[in-house]
A and B are shown apart, each in its own frame.
Chain A
Amino acid sequence: MNILVLLKQVPDTTEMKIDKETGTLIRAGVPTITNPDDLAGLEAALRLKDSMGAKVTCITMGPPQAKNMMRELYAMGADEAIVLSDMKFSGADTWATSNTLAALIRTLEFDLIIAGRQAIDGDTAQVGPQTAEKLGLPQITYVDDIIAVKEGKIIVKKALESTYEIVEAPLPCVITTLSTLASPRYMHVKGISHAFERDIKIMTFDDIQIDQSIIGLKGSPTKVKKTFTKEVHKNSDILHLDGKAAARKVFDIMVDFKFIGK
Chain B
Amino acid sequence: MNLNEYKDIYVFCEVKDGKVHDASLELLGEAARLVNGRPQLEYKVVGVLIGNHSDDVAAHVGWYGADKVVFLRNENIKHYSTEIFTSLFTEMIESDKPDIVLIPATVMGRDLAPRIAARCDTGLTADATKLELNPEDADSSLLYVTRPAFGGNLFGTIINETKRPQMTTIRPGVMEMLHKDEHRSLEIDKREVSIDHINDPVRILEVMHKDHMAVDITKADIIVSGGRGIGDNFHVLQECADMMGAVVGASRGAVDKGYIAKDHQVGQTGKTVKPKVYIACGISGAVQHLAGMEKSDYIIAINKDPEAAIFGVANIGLVGDALEILPLLTQEIKRYRERPY
Contacts and interface: CB of A to CB of B under 8 A. Distances in A.
Contact of B150 (A16, A170, A244): A16
B115 A123 contact: no
B318 A239 contact: yes
A125 interface: yes
Interface stretch (A43-51, A56-64, A72-80, A253-261): A253-261
A87 interface: no
A145 B148 CA distance: 29
A236 B285 CA distance: 14
Interface of A: 11, 13-14, 16-18, 25, 36, 93-95, 98, 118, 120-130, 132-134, 138-142, 155, 159-170, 173, 178-180, 220-230, 232-234, 236-244, 246-251, 253-254, 257, 259-261
A129 B208 contact: no
A14 B157 contact: no
Contacts, number: 266
Given A166-B208, A167-B204, A259-B244, A237 B328 contact: no
A233 B329 CA distance: 27
Contact of A232 (B252, B290, B318, B329): B290
Contacts of B8: none
B106 interface: yes
Secondary structure of the B side of the interface?
Answer: mixed
A234 B300 contact: no
B124 interface: yes
Per CB-CB distance, the 7 closest pairs between chain A and chain B, nearest first, are A13-B151, A221-B123, A247-B328, A124-B126, A133-B118, A222-B123, A129-B114
B36 interface: no
Nearest to A231: B312
A126 B269 contact: no
13 contacts: A14-B286, A165-B208, A223-B161, A224-B158, A229-B155, A232-B313, A233-B313, A236-B301, A236-B317, A241-B320, A243-B324, A246-B320, A247-B331
A243 B320 contact: yes
A20 to B, nearest CB: 11
A249 to B, nearest CB: 7
